[in-house]
Amino acid sequence: MARWIDHLRGERGCSPHTIRAYQSNLSSLSQYLQTREKRLAQAGLLELRAWLSRERLGGQARGSVRSPATMARKVSAVRSFYRWMLREGHIDSSPAARLQSPRVPKKAPRFLDIPEAAAVVEQPHQRGWFQLRNRALLELMYGAGLRVSEAVSLDTTALDLRNNLVRVMGKGRKERIVPFGPPAADALRAWMTEIPSDGPLFLNRFGRRLSSRSAWTITREAGVTNGISGLHPHALRHSCATHLLGAGADLRAIQEQLGHVSLSTTQRYTHVDAAHLLAVYRSAHPLAGTKKED
């Protein structure tokens, strides 16, 4: 397991969140197999299915079951582990090859209207030093469409404030250069007067790198401050993509901006934008809500 985790971190460039989740899943599987006096290398398809069945019924609430998305991640972790075991010659065939992932319903990405996004990034929670940091963080995640893990891993040297560009290390350790707008640049300039010129871009109160969990809290509290509940960092990323598309940006350009490997991932924003347009039409057009009478 330790060597597999090194593989995830070094070769595949998985995020810390993914590594923690995969490691937790494999530890759970290992403990289950021990009750059957087996090791990970000895597991068969039936044992994997039995473990997944138990995991599915292992929700915290009494009588609850875990969601299809959660179970799909568990299947993904197991498949990844046994593919690596096969590649390294530890097993002759993968017991996970015939595992089927549950069908995960596709949800339209949540995004903010432009006035909502402006309110959230311009009026974050807290005051003083913390407000400067929070505004810079929120403006950059929205302005550049960054993942929260990408934002908190930035160093000051990744910024080019003269040209409004940031060098980002994305999923799979793929680097990209991403533009951002003047509001984000202004917020970053104000924030950088408060921190050392070399080191992590976003700091916590102890002067260490801000964590993803803290960035989630900052985003959620900024939403609450502006009357928006349940706001998360990915909603800012979705908002960036949706607003670019609504303003006429090319899908390929948005794909490069967000660091999507596949264009199909970016194409879901066309559905979001169409749904939003329809909602606006129905609320604004004088004939949209009328019914023809006999």
The answer to whether 264 and 270 have CB atoms below 8 angstroms apart is no
Can you read off the two tokens belonging to residue 45?
């398809």
- What is the SS3 string spanning the chain? CHHHHHHHHHCCCCCHHHHHHHHHHHHHHHHHHHCCCCCHHHCCHHHHHHHHHHHHCCCCCCCCCCCHHHHHHHHHHHHHHHHHHHHCCCCCCCCCCCCCCCCCCCCCCCCCCHHHHHHHHHCCCCCHHHHHHHHHHHHHHHHHCCCHHHHHCCEHHHEECCCCEEEEECHHHCEEEEECCHHHHHHHHHHHCCCCCCCECCECCCCCECCHHHHHHHHHHHHHHCCCCCCCHHHHHHHHHHHHHHCCCCHHHHHHHHCCCCHHHHHHHHHHHHHHHHHHHHHHCCCCCCCCCC
| Residues 276, 278, 281: CA angle, nearest 5 degrees | 110
Query: Active-site residue numbers?
Result: 147, 171, 234, 237, 260, 269
